[in-house]
Chains A and B, each alone.
Chain A
């Protein structure tokens, strides 16, 4: 998983609660990304950040929020406004301007009870 850590591996949440997923990288990459994966589906982009203190919405940003206060960290908050949050969440990073290759973390499986 190349220096990207996500925690926790499994997360359970009650309806109506906000929850924050952690993503840390020690690759000195500038860009970081959050994807959502549903069973039998491809990856869909939630948010991405190319530099510290800046981020852009992806294709399915509604009900999610992010921050990028440090280069190595890009936490994702799943809010109570997200109607169907149960999914596998993947964080990735890339060194923009070089190969553009995105490297993924091991993922967090979120289940809403």
Chain B
């Protein structure tokens, strides 16, 4: 089955700096890659996603890049703010017979210091 590795496990930045979180996946049939933000005690919220036919996608301060050949994708947050502090999860959606099944990374705890 699919395996998703996420790094780093913790990330600490100063307000205004950029933050980058990286994920690798194992199944070349995976074709959809969402990123979720989870605040303490709440359910994950989708913040951005990308499909395998696109190399990069941006939404204001957030961007995601995908390298299908290397099987890795990254989340980029620019001009970080204290409210960006949360746990971020990447995920990969399997294709084929496991259609609809998301496999998640272990999560990155992002702390933005004022």
Q: Mark A residues whose CB is within 8 Å of B.
A: 1, 4, 6, 31, 33, 40-45, 48, 50, 58-59, 90, 94, 96, 99-107, 109
Contact = CB atoms under 8 A, between A and B. Distances in A.
B108 to A, nearest CB: 10
A101 to B, nearest CB: 6
Contacts, number: 57
Nearest to B99: A96
Interface of B is mostly: strand
A43 B43 contact: no
Contacts of B105: 42
Nearest to A56: B101
Interface residues of B, number: 24
23 contacts: A1-B42, A1-B43, A31-B100, A40-B106, A40-B107, A42-B89, A42-B104, A42-B105, A42-B106, A48-B101, A58-B101, A59-B1, A90-B43, A90-B44, A96-B99, A99-B49, A100-B32, A100-B93, A101-B46, A102-B34, A106-B43, A107-B42, A109-B41
A55 to B, nearest CB: 12
A39 B105 CA distance: 14
B28 interface: no
B12 interface: no
